[in-house]
A = this chain, B = another copy of it.
Amino acid sequence: MEQEKLNNIVEAALFAAQQPLTLPMLAALFHEEDGVGHEDLARAVETLAQTCEGRGIELVEVASGFRYQVREAVHPWVARLWAERQTKYSRALLETLALIAYRQPITRGEIEQVRGVTVATSIIRTLEEREWIRVVGYRDVPGKPALFGTTRQFLDYFNLKSLDQLPTLAEIREIADPDPQLALAPEPEAAPNDATNPSDPPADAEGAAPADTPSTTEDAA
């Protein structure tokens, strides 16, 4: 067998196998009449490893044999294939975010006063990590509590030009539960990063309910 064909078979086998392959395992793919020796196989593996140079994958030898693997350099991008969508935010987090939006600058203590319950530190941290809120200053009282405000990213995410585009508090109080048509100025484009997740169900999947109602009304009920 020509070395080139041999190389191709070894390449394909290494890519098709679910685990590393040793030289004897590779040798087992060939018939006697193929006339393939161990040196031929070793040469094939070496050639294939070389052709991976400067590419996104590499051919490496590990304890149980040879395998193709994704290079570390590109891993940060590749890993996004398995990006996991976190579970929905809690009601407490949404309330906190809303109060910060409408009452900024506001301290944690003030939020707790309105909500009647403690605001978990994790909620503040999550909102800060998402860069939706930030500390805009400190109140001049004992303990110097941080004052929180919303950010530009917050506006961007909800597709708002300014906070004025949010409904007034009076309007919000009138929102009826079953009413899906909230009189919002700009329809909150279902999250901007929606389409970008490969783990999202295909767009044509049946029952892809419009984002606006079901979960919300369940929560509110």
A160: Cβ under 8 A from any B Cβ = no
B196 touches A55 (CB 8 A): no
A138: Cβ under 8 A from any B Cβ = no
The main secondary structure of chain A at its interface with chain B is helix
A81 touches B16 (CB 8 A): yes
A77: Cβ under 8 A from any B Cβ = yes
Contacting residue for A77 out of B9, B24, B57, B196, CB 8 A: B9
A154: Cβ under 8 A from any B Cβ = no
A68 vs B56: C-alpha distance in the bound complex, in angstroms?
A: 14
Number of A positions contacting B (CB below 8 A): 40
B8 touches A71 (CB 8 A): yes
List A residues 1-54 near B (Cβ within 8 Å): 4-5, 7-13, 15-17, 21, 24-25, 27-30, 54
Contacting residue for A17 out of B7, B29, B81, CB 8 A: B81
B residues less than 8 Å from A9 (CB atoms): 56, 74, 77-78
This chain: how many copies in the complex?
2
Closest to A73 in B: B8
B21 touches A198 (CB 8 A): yes
Question: Shortest CB–CB separation between residue A42 and chain B, in angstroms?
Answer: 17
A103: Cβ under 8 A from any B Cβ = no
A-B contact pairs, 27 of them (CB 8 A): A7-B56, A8-B55, A8-B71, A8-B74, A9-B56, A9-B74, A9-B77, A9-B78, A10-B56, A11-B56, A12-B57, A12-B70, A12-B71, A12-B75, A12-B77, A12-B78, A13-B77, A13-B81, A15-B56, A16-B70, A16-B78, A17-B81, A17-B198, A21-B81, A25-B198, A28-B196, A29-B78
The 9 nearest A-B residue pairs measured at CB: A8-B56, A12-B56, A11-B56, A28-B196, A25-B198, A12-B70, A9-B77, A12-B74, A29-B77
Binding site for B on A (CB under 8 A): 4-5, 7-13, 15-17, 21, 24-25, 27-30, 54-57, 64, 68, 70-71, 73-75, 77-78, 80-81, 152, 195-198, 202
